[in-house]
């Protein structure tokens, strides 16, 4: 029998689309939680308070707003579980992750015959996938055209697509759903906690799902936030769904949400970990203390700093998200994106390539909203490019970056 040595994982700079570097306060909350059973009163109180904080973060009065235990995709799986075999769906994809969402929708909307015909990649006729070219956003006009033609029960779109770094038109999506009577579902994995929006402003979107490890900046394997309007819950009440663990209504019971109302703490739940509850609770506290509007403004400010710097290195930025820059390398480095990313990751600088064609470089700034953080990211990326033969004046780029932050420092003084 082989006994492996203790696993030691070094610090790295997470500068990709997510997860972001976890705030030390979140790690401390996880590590300092006492050994307690899942029904201990502080664990229950933490779940109640987390549920209430999530409503503030989503900007909603939806009673069915809570965290689904698991990975980031657990929340999406919960939201999409309301789709049943044979349901008519129109779904939009413009990148890797909305593409995975669309595959999930095809699986859930498939009949047994559809699955038997192609078990790993079913193609039910009742699901229409609208593929928008990489690097382009889903527009309200696209949604309007597709819903007018197909008249689906459900419509789906990602809010922010990290595969290509594009923001999609959620207002146009909402308006088209309202006009054509579709129930809107939105993947808010990359926008929640980064953008400043209230989901109650989009009443035709009846389901929202996010993740813990991006804008919320909790630990990755904790709780994926979801929020469901009454219209969504009514559908599940009438028809049910093929899951227990990710059941939108039964899951809510674990958070003290019964028949659309909050019940007192003390409801039996799925053995949620006190450590996970404590760390998730702290992540939500940090986000609300920072302020949604201020955080969104800081993301926009810092993304522009990074965008300006990489553009000055000769890169072409094709994204419009505020937590992520997606770029093409300059001419002589074109085609070497994966090599450059590999070199950076080998040195603890965690940038990412795109996971589908065309191959681009993705540099993220999740939880990196200071001059020091952006300066380190720009400096390390500049060094990596210069080592591969790029030609630019790094000193000037760094000086321009410093000048960009000077007004911010004066305003905060």
Under 8 Å between Cβ of 158 and 97: yes
pLDDT over 70 for what percent of the chain? 98
* Residue 354 predicted with pLDDT over 80: yes
Which of 130-139, 260-269, 298-307 is least confident? 260-269
Tell me how far apart the alpha carbons of residues 93 and 100 are, in angstroms, rounded to a whole number.
Answer: 9
The residue whose two tokens read 């420092």 is: 409
The kind and range of the H/E element at 70 are strand 64-70
* Residue 13 predicted with pLDDT over 80: yes
Q: pLDDT at position 408, please? A: 74
How confident is the model over 329-348, as a mean pLDDT?
A: 95
Q: pLDDT at position 412, please? A: 59
Q: What is the per-residue pLDDT across 381-406, written as a single tens digit (0 to 9) for each?
A: 999 999 999 999 999 999 999 999 99
How confident is the model over 258-283, as a mean pLDDT?
A: 87
pLDDT over 90 for what percent of the chain? 89
CATH architecture type of domain 25-288: 3-Layer(aba) Sandwich (3.40)
* Residue 266 predicted with pLDDT over 80: no
Helices 274-290 and 24-32 pack at an angle, to 10 degrees, of 150
Q: What is the per-residue pLDDT across 133-167, written as a single tens digit (0 to 9) for each?
A: 999 999 999 999 999 999 999 999 999 999 999 99
Q: What is the per-residue pLDDT across 197-252, written as a single tens digit (0 to 9) for each?
A: 999 999 999 999 999 999 999 999 999 999 999 999 999 999 999 999 999 999 99
Mean pLDDT of the chain: 95
- In the chain, where the domains are located: 25-288, 292-412
Residue 288: both structure tokens together = 């609300």
* Residue 173 predicted with pLDDT over 60: yes
* Residue 413 predicted with pLDDT over 60: no
DSSP states of 110-150 as a string? --HHHHHHSTTS---TTEEEEEPPTT-PPPHHHHHHHHHHH
Residues 6+ positions from 101 with CB-CB distance below 8 Å: 76, 80, 91, 93, 156, 158, 187
* Residue 409 predicted with pLDDT over 70: no
CATH classification number, 292-412, choose in 3.20.20.70, 3.90.1150.10, 1.10.150.110, 2.40.37.10: 3.90.1150.10
Of 35 and 364, more confident: 364
* Residue 267 predicted with pLDDT over 80: no
Q: pLDDT at position 271, please? A: 81
* Residue 410 predicted with pLDDT over 70: no
Under 8 Å between Cβ of 217 and 189: no
For residue 383, the tally of other CB atoms under 10 A from its CB is: 15
Q: What is the per-residue pLDDT across 183-195, written as a single tens digit (0 to 9) for each?
A: 999 999 999 999 9
How confident is the model over 275-301, as a mean pLDDT?
A: 97
Q: pLDDT at position 365, please? A: 97
φ and ψ of 222, to 5 deg:
-135, -95
Q: How does residue 23 score in pLDDT terms, banded at 50, 70 and 90?
A: very high
């Amino acid at each position: 029998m082989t006994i492996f040595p203790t696993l030691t994982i070094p610090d790295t700079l997470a500068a990709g689309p997510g997860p972001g570097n976890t705030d030390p306060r979140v790690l401390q909350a996880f590590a300092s939680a006492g050994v307690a059973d899942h029904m201990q009163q502080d664990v229950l109180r933490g779940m109640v308070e987390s549920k209430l904080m999530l409503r503030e973060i989503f900007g909603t009065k939806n009673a069915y707003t809570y965290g689904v235990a698991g990975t980031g995709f657990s929340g999406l799986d919960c939201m999409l579980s309301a789709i049943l075999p044979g349901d008519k769906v129109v779904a939009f994809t413009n990148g890797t992750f909305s593409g995975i969402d669309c595959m999930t929708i095809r699986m859930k909307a498939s009949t047994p015959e559809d699955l038997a015909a192609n078990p790993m990649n079913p193609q039910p006729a009742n699901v229409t996938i609208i593929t928008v070219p990489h690097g382009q956003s889903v527009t309200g006009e696209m949604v309007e055209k597709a819903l007018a033609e197909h008249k689906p029960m459900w419509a789906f779109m990602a809010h922010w697509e990290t595969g290509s770094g594009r923001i999609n038109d959620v207002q146009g999506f909402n308006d088209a759903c309202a006009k054509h009577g579709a129930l809107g579902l939105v993947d808010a994995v990359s926008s929640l906690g980064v953008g400043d929006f209230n989901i109650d402003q989009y009443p035709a979107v009846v389901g929202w799902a996010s993740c813990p490890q991006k804008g919320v900046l909790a630990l990755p394997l904790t709780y994926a936030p979801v929020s469901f309007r009454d219209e969504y819950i009514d559908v599940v009440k009438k028809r049910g769904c093929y899951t227990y663990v990710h059941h939108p209504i039964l899951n809510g019971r674990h958070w003290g949400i019964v028949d659309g109302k909050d019940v007192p703490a003390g409801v039996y739940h799925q053995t949620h970990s006190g450590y996970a509850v404590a760390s998730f609770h702290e992540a939500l506290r940090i986000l609300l203390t920072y302020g949604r509007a201020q955080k969104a403004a800081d993301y926009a400010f810092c993304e522009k700093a990074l965008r300006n710097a990489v553009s000055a290195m000769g890169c072409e930025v094709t994204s419009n998200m505020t937590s992520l820059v997606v770029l093409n390398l300059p001419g002589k480095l074109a085609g070497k994106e994966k090599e450059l990313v590999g070199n950076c990751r080998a040195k603890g600088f965690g940038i990412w390539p795109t996971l589908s064609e065309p191959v681009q470089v993705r540099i993220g700034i999740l939880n990196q909203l200071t001059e020091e953080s952006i300066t380190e990211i720009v400096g390390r990326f500049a060094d990596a490019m210069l080592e591969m033969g790029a030609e630019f004046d790094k000193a000037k780029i760094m000086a321009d970056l410093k000048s960009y932050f000077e007004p911010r420092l004066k305003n905060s003084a």
